[in-house]
Structure 1
């Protein structure tokens, strides 16, 4: 913790206790560090009482303002705070009840220091396997509830009528198979984006091509993707409907691979070099559930193989889902909300 933090911590603690004494603290709030955090939180929020939304920065403020959602800035003084980041220290009062959850699926990233999780009263994760791993690392606050971001896909909210409306609005040709490309953040050599971005349009005669990339992807890549006439660039934060629409997924190393795996459809991945950012067990899992290729030149054959036998690796995908998800029943948000309310009201 940097020294300057303590100039924030102790005045905050004093102010919180004063505000709490005179009844000026908020009952419950959601700390939103990124627009994706809010998208992840919505399936939980709808089962909770109305609360304040705390916007971390201008990016979040613009996003919330565009959606017509009221917000406040920092510092904020809630009695209960929920967040999709491992930053409980931003609310450094022991009496503040803190709940956290991952903004990405499963453990595609390494666990950080146990104190970043043990600072929460409950930290929600997607699976029991994560709970077991966390406990071995000395993290004792984790609870498996599933993955709220996918609830709408499994509770009927994203039904066929809704998906058809997206297909129509985005001009997705019903006579073509649909392939969704994704890439992780273009650092550390894990992104396969440079391998396919200049050749993507070679596939558009035969397939609908959808693209989503990491929100921190270099702007020059995003600008090029948006400029491609017959490539559909997904700029929504919730890409779940597009995962449901797609027949095949093409990726590299990111948690969205796990999200697509939930639908038990074919996956193709570019091999990535192992590094300090990769986790050996995740590399092995990706290899099991996907057809792996080295270069774009191998992609078309891999696509045709997936279309010819989409159930190849189905068993492997289902086994991976058992590791990544507590359940795929559309009720992860309800489980999280119930846990929050039970803890707060006990």
Structure 2
């Protein structure tokens, strides 16, 4: 049996850019793709006219997928086909709920050793799912376009922030970023996590001018490619940017790492960004080393590896697995959300 019918389950806007490269690979193999959008946090307008939408769980079951994919921790248990986890971001030190399994997925397609090794230990313990290291489909377009990137006329600084109140720098840096964008010869791009509080988003949109633009998109790969340096806190998007082999300045990062330039003083940001633009040799070496740990694949073919892993699981990988635990409470909560 070959997987011909593929269902994407998503609840957040960032899922579109994770799943679309996989869709391209599926269609190239002659497969069929349908999108099952769930919840109020999704912008349904991001779905394209040529993409098939499944309106509810009943229709999703009728679609009879061979494989269902989710860039997150949850997927409806009642859907046919194998359940594949693609992750919604990189492992970020200091954030909660890392490396949890909820008895829903059959196959975890990991990004690199940093996620593979912890999940291999979990797979050995639970014995009811498989792990295959494939790389992350979201990054296929990034690596396919990276070599075509052209230099900017003047430096471009990308500011990105997580939504967590405990970790976000966004509420504290509005005035500083406004000042830097006004007084420096840098072009600024700003993007905030889709779950960021609306009043903070409004504050950053309000300071836009000729040197500062707010980016709101379901696909930030072009923005990552455009920037020369990123300013961030602990958002997992900085790991995506790091894989472009460009420097990152962090503000109040709770974990000190040699592949970032960190400060707890906002008045030092301009100096650190200027230093980052020189691409310091030691920093760039640390970035290369860490890139191999989180995502060693630079060929832009992670989606192909995911599909190969799905085919392997359907043919042989499922053999010897234990049945998943019957978690009635979790199943009830999932079904309730889908009603």
TM-score over 0.5 for the pair:
yes
| Residues 206-239 of structure 1, C-alpha deviations (whole Å, 9 max, x = no match) | 1000111111111111112122223111111221
Deviations 1:48-102 (A, max 9, x none): 21122111135536234565533112212134321112223x2236x63111110
CA distance in 1, matches of 2:116, 2:231: 29
Q: Deviations over 1:320-346 (max 9, x none)?
A: 111101412211111112222343356
Residue correspondences, number: 295
How many angstroms apart in 2 are the aligned matches of 1:27 and 1:237?
Answer: 24
Question: CA 1:159–1:63 in 2, change beyond 3 Å: closer, same or farther?
Answer: farther
**Corresponding residue number in structure 2 for 1:82:** 69
Q: Is the 8 A contact 1:195 1:295 kept in 2?
A: no
Query: Which runs of 5 or more structure 1 residues have no equivalent in the other structure?
Result: 1-25, 165-173, 274-282
Is residue 152–residue 158 contact of structure 1 (8 Å, CA) maintained in 2? no
Give TM-score, length-normalised by structure 1.
Answer: 0.77
Per mean C-alpha deviation after superposition, the further-off stretch among 191-200 and 307-316 is: 307-316
8 Å Cα contact 2:82-2:106 kept in structure 1: yes
Unaligned runs of 5+ in 2: 317-339
Alignment check: 8 A CA contact 2:86 2:136 kept: no
Per-residue Cα deviation, 1:96-154 (whole angstroms, up to 9, x for no partner): 311111011235544557542x5322111101232211233436522211122121121
When structure 1 is superposed on structure 2, of 64-73 and 252-261 the one drifting more is 64-73
Contact 1:184 1:191 survives alignment (8 Å)? yes
Counterpart-to-counterpart distance in 2, 1:322 and 1:70: 36
Partner of 2:302: 332
> Cα offset for 1:312?
3.7
1:196 aligns with 2:177: no
Cα 1:66/1:229, change in 2 over 3 Å: farther
**From 297, 300, 306, the counterpart of 2:267:** 297
Whether 1:323 aligns to 2:310 is no
In the alignment, the residues of structure 2 paired with residue 232 and residue 102 of structure 1 have an alpha-carbon distance, to the nearest angstrom, of 29
Distance in 2, matches of 1:113 and 1:202, equals: 39
Q: CA RMSD in A?
A: 2.5
User: Which residue among 147, 155, 161 is the counterpart of 2:136?
Assistant: 147
Q: Is the partner of 1:120 in helix, strand or coil?
A: coil
Task: Give, in whole Å, the separation in 2 of the partners of 1:264 and 1:124.
Answer: 24
> Is 1:41 the equivalent of 2:28?
no
1:270 aligns with 2:251: yes
Q: Corresponding residue for 2:106?
A: 121
Contact 2:259 2:287 in 1 (8 A): yes
The question of 1:221 aligning with 2:200 is answered: yes
- Check the 8 A contact 1:265/1:310 in 2, yes or no: no
